[in-house]
Structure 1
Amino acid sequence: MQTLRRMELVEDLAEGRWRLAPGLEDTLRSMGERGDIIRLMQREVTRARLERTEQRIYGPASEPLVGRVIMRGLADEHRDRHFLLVDGVDGRSHYVGIGEAATVEELPKNAVVRLAPRVPMVRDMDRTVQTIADVSDGRYSTVHHQLYDPTASRAFAESHVRRLEAMRKAGLDVGRDPDGSWRISPDHLALAERFEQKLARERPVEVEVVAKGSLDHLAAADGATWLDRELASPSGMHVRDAGFGREVRSAMSLRQQWLVDQELAVETSGSIRLRQGALALLQRRELLRIAARLSGKMGKEFSEAKQGDLIEGRIVRRIEGVSGRFALVEKSRDFTLVPWRPVLEKQIGKQVEGIMRETGINWRFGRGRSGPEIS
């Protein structure tokens, strides 16, 4: 009891009587788990031959973080919840609970990731659905949407339908009638908030892979890298001159010199500035290089997609590049490469059609092209 008193978990009422702090058991359990996590981090950091004296447990109130993945492990086998150990650019190692295994794809060894807590909040599209239903007798559909807002594209309205479908699959009270319209309850925004809270429990952290492989490779990569995007539009992340942060600073310096040598950046007043269009040029260089390699293997000509072009064919597979991911779309005589979208994963091996726009591609799936548009 004296030990608990020093931890401010009990109060001494004298004469052998004590008052336990509310939630004492949960607090002790949490402290035990934290101790286990710290010991795990120290063991794995040592195993990775890293000298990191500071450890952090990444939580809902944490700032966005960029770092290199040290390992991925199982945090709770009964609920299939996983974690990452991340060597951050802030010079610290971080334990990051990432939720259910299926919500985060497999990560390459030494992948550099950007992490941000998932904040459960009602989205603008939820409010739009509620507004349209309020003036449409409690109904929502793409037709109702375009009547309410004639400037809205069908693809934009379909994104709201996908949101409703996801909420329905999650077991929320969102009903769809045979005519394709949706019955929207007066408490729709409360349902949307519950849905977001469920998603946050399943996946408490957004994990984005920003680089694969070593930083040394990025320093001279002939493609639009994460380092280039940081130079073009700094995210404001704090890169400490210690640990992995020091490695990133070194790679950034080497990358700047490479860009200057390639005449893609200029040095003015002691700082390096990318030339206009440098990112697009780097991405196109890599695109053409990948296309040339594929053309030799496939025995087909590459057709470069331009704004306004009709993209049609069979989605063959996903192509990984330094600049990002591309979808390989094959036709009988030629093929093209277009920006990858996660929604294309389920379309591999199928016929697709879409229009190349400045902001992306409006996809229409299915051989009959009668499916929804995905923008």
Structure 2
Amino acid sequence: MRRYHFRYLPTNQRREALVDRVHLIIDGTDGRTHYIELPTSAVGVEATPIGAIIEATAAGRQTHAADRNIANIAGKNDGLYRTADHLATARADRGIVDPVAYVEAHVRRLEALRRAGIVARLDADQWRIPAEFEQRAAMHGDGHTPATSLRVLTTLDLDTQIASDGATWLDRQLVGRDPMPITTAGFGLEVQSALDRRREHHITQGDASRDGKGRLLYRRHLLATLQGRELVRVGQEIAMAQGLPFRVASAGETIRGTYREAVQLASGRFALIENAQEFTLVLWRPVIDRSLGREVVGVMTDGGISWQLGRGRGLGA
């Protein structure tokens, strides 16, 4: 599996619609620009704010053998794939029983890639093959499943995260168990600068300090502390607006109430659960959206909440 973190680019830089596919040009934390292809049915990313941090996961597909063959033929002919050239090569290979059928299978593959906008057909027997052909063809896959999935890690841009009181994506890079490798080039350089400024912010706020050797030491349970602070602040703001008391839920507690809405915070997305006396905010998961406006029941855990939805089965969050 290949994984990239990237910044969502302005519309005129990020999207090119070709038939039933959407092509994204993205700034990666590896300092490079990447080409990502998706089916149009998967583009909920259009609603994502500019500057958000998104993770693109490319499925670990093996390159089609046909794609390698096409690239080899084109590489010898200045980017042109000719069926006549391939047929001559196939006939010289004793391992190929039916050279005509063999080449026709490659032509069918090229037709699928033409519909995806990856190759161009010049005439009945010639195709223009791009320089990034194998990479783009591998991302296209077999056309039945999305070649790449996108996940929004945070809707906040880097500048907003630096001064946030919540547990941001930057914080997870600083103290998380699985930080993403980041280079000092391109967007990666911008992220490195933001991480440095976020460290200084934590020192100013008393959440980090340097020891006698200059090493930076963070407060224990930094992420949980930041998330808790943000929840209290936002909960109090909502309470003032709605006139209903806010209460922080604790581990082991059973939460029962109506799921009113999802609230996006720096620390993540939270579900607002309300009863007649008060409301609370708990970690949101997609499964709960089916219960919007309905009563829900869940048990708080150290890592979130276990929802009791449908026949008493628990669905962890």
- Going from structure 1 to structure 2, the CA distance change for 1:110 and 1:331 (only over 3 Å counts) comes to same
The residue aligned with 1:52 is none
User: For 1:96, which of 36, 46, 57 is the aligned residue?
Assistant: 36
| Cα drift, residue 246 of structure 1 | 1.4
Q: Alpha-carbon deviation of 1:371? A: 5.0
Task: Quote the residue 1:255 is aligned against.
Answer: 198
Paired residues for 1:256-335 under 5 Å: 256-268=199-211, 269-335=213-279
Structure 1 residue 363 displacement after superposition: 1.1
Q: TM-score, normalised to structure 2's length?
A: 0.67
Equivalent residues of 1:103, 1:202 under 8 A apart: no
Written as runs of structure 1 = structure 2, the 5 A alignment for 1:157-306 is 201-233=144-176, 235-268=178-211, 269-306=213-250
Report the equivalent of 2:7.
68
Cα deviation, 1:270-306, whole Å, max 9, x if unaligned, reads 4423221111111011101110111011111112111
Question: 2:106 — aligned with what?
Answer: none
> Deviations 1:323-371 (Å, cap 9, x if unpaired)?
10100001112111000101112211111101111233221236xxx45
Does the 8 Å contact 1:239/1:245 carry over to 2? yes
Mapped contact 2:162–2:198 kept (Cα < 8 A): yes
2:296 maps to a residue whose letter is: V
The answer on whether the counterparts of 1:82 and 1:101 sit within 8 Å (CA) in structure 2 is no
CA drift of 1:93 comes to 1.5
| Partners of 1:100 and 1:203 within 8 A in 2 | no
2:142 and 2:304 map into 1 onto residues whose CA distance is 26
8 Å Cα contact 1:69/1:85 also seen in 2:
no
Q: Shift of residue 372 of structure 1? A: 3.4
Q: 1:234 to 1:271 in 2, by over 3 A?
A: farther
Query: CA RMSD of the aligned region, Å?
Result: 2.6
Amino acid at match of 1:310: T
Could you say which structure has the greater relative contact order, defined with CA pairs below 8 angstroms and 6 or more residues apart?
A: 2
Match of 1:361 among 296, 305, 311: 305
Counterparts of 1:137-176 in structure 2, within 5 Å, are none
1:94-140 per-residue CA deviation (whole Å, 9 max, x = no partner) reads: 121133434644322221112222348xxxxxxxxxxxxxxxxxxxx
Cα distance between partner residues in 1 of 2:226 and 2:175: 13
**How far apart are the structure 2 equivalents of 1:69 and 1:309?**
38
Deviation at 1:374, TM superposition (A): 1.6
Q: State whether residues 282 and 304 of structure 2, in contact with CA within 8 Å, keep that contact through their aligned partners in structure 1.
A: no
- Residue 83 of structure 1 pairs with residue 23 of structure 2: yes
2:50 paired residue among 105, 109, 119: 109
Aligned residue identity for 1:232: V
CA distance in 2, matches of 1:334, 1:358: 22
Aligned-residue offset at 1:204: 2.4
Checking the alignment, whether the CA contact within 8 Å between 1:76 and 1:82 is kept in structure 2 is: yes
Query: Is the partner of 2:257 in helix, strand or coil?
Result: strand
Q: State the distance in 2 between where 1:280 and 1:212 align.
A: 19
Unaligned runs of 5+ in 2: 62-140
Instruction: Give matches, 1:10-29, under 5 Å.
Output: none
Percent identical pairs in the alignment equals 34
State the SS of the aligned residue for 1:306: coil
- CA distance in 2 between partners of 1:265 and 1:344 (Å): 36
